[in-house]
Structure 1
């Protein structure tokens, strides 16, 4: 009688531990920055032994890189809706809602990335000049195709992405400022719904897709 393999179980444990470490690292890096963060603090937040962090990610620099890579991948994923055959209004609506959801559900991820950029992107700079630049060029070409086909008015397709990033990520990166103006300790679901409706309305109107 054969013994059931333990490999699937080990794989599940590894995935769960890595996910817990990455989420804890997002919190700590967002609060203290790379220099101020320690593997011991991240381990404490993750609820795992410090040795586990070194086992899965090697050192703090490698863990920081993994966090940034994950954030960028999650941010680029919603652009899959921007394809030539898509309806421009539906595609842009999907993109805005996904980006707003990421800012709402994982604000620390956005703050880690913003802090990296404010320090000159020493770790993620190559990805910005490579993968991100390539993606923006490809998706801007899709938008230019919509414009050429008369499905959108003439807009700067590349700068549209800069505006989209600014409008959606501000609710994570500048949460303190927004809460101060709204006199909130925490943004409510109603606040987030109002923000999403506002940003989406601005984008659709700016792209000639209102109504």
Structure 2
């Protein structure tokens, strides 16, 4: 792929991401994206063919990081370490992909009508993996017996709200935009909240009980 082509595609995705987040999928026209990106409309179609393809490209900018975010839970045996890394990564996604996160949230809230079936399936597989790992930790005694589904929902909500409801959060905190220190503070708080609330134990401690 040529550097110019790649640069144009990235620009189109960035502009489309912002417009999809601000206006929604249905209200956003390819002509609007082309105009704001200052790229001829035929070029937008040349790169992405259809609005659906461009929408999928926008979703992928946040879906792929979201899918990768659960790797610590999948691969690590220590729940404290895994949950700490997962929460940090989820907050990093909210910080780095705020518009794409809003597009994804809007898609889910509308019933995921335009979400490609393969992406929906990948997300479901990820969710089942996380639920299974939480259940395993509970059975091993390193985490309290609790609803694994509601634990997962709580972490989703607590981390993604920093992107999806950024206006409200910034308004309460009386600042135009959250900075890296704000996200670090959020990560520290949420990690302690989840680890303490789930009564996470070291394996040595769990074996003594």
Q: Indicate the residue corresponding to 2:100 in structure 1.
A: 109
Deviations 1:169-190 (A, max 9, x none): 0011111111221222222333
Shift of 1:157: 1.6
Shift of 1:34: 1.2
The whole-number CA distance in structure 2 between the counterparts of 1:205 and 1:176 is 29
Shift of 1:147: 1.9
Q: In the alignment, is residue 194 of structure 1 matched against residue 182 of structure 2?
A: no
Shift of 1:143: 2.1
Compared CA separation, residues 120 and 91, structure 1 to 2 (3 A): same
Shift of 1:156: 1.6
Aligned pair partner of 2:117 in 126, 137, 155 = 126
The whole-number CA distance in structure 2 between the counterparts of 1:176 and 1:84 is 35
Q: Indicate the residue corresponding to 1:40 in structure 2.
A: 31
Q: TM-score under structure 2 normalisation?
A: 0.85
Q: Which runs of 5+ in 2 are unaligned?
A: 203-209
Q: In the alignment, is residue 96 of structure 1 matched against residue 87 of structure 2?
A: yes
Cα RMSD (Å): 2.3
Deviations 1:32-67 (A, max 9, x none): 111221223323444433222211211222211222
Aligned pair partner of 2:57 in 44, 56, 66 = 66
Compared CA separation, residues 99 and 85, structure 1 to 2 (3 A): closer
The whole-number CA distance in structure 1 between the counterparts of 2:116 and 2:30 is 23
Aligned pair partner of 2:12 in 21, 28, 38 = 21
The whole-number CA distance in structure 1 between the counterparts of 2:170 and 2:142 is 38
Q: Which runs of 4+ in 1 moved over 4 A?
A: none
Deviations 1:40-97 (A, max 9, x none): 3323444433222211211222211222244222211111111365321111111100
The whole-number CA distance in structure 2 between the counterparts of 1:209 and 1:13 is 50
Q: Indicate the residue corresponding to 2:41 in structure 1.
A: 50
Compared CA separation, residues 90 and 66, structure 1 to 2 (3 A): same
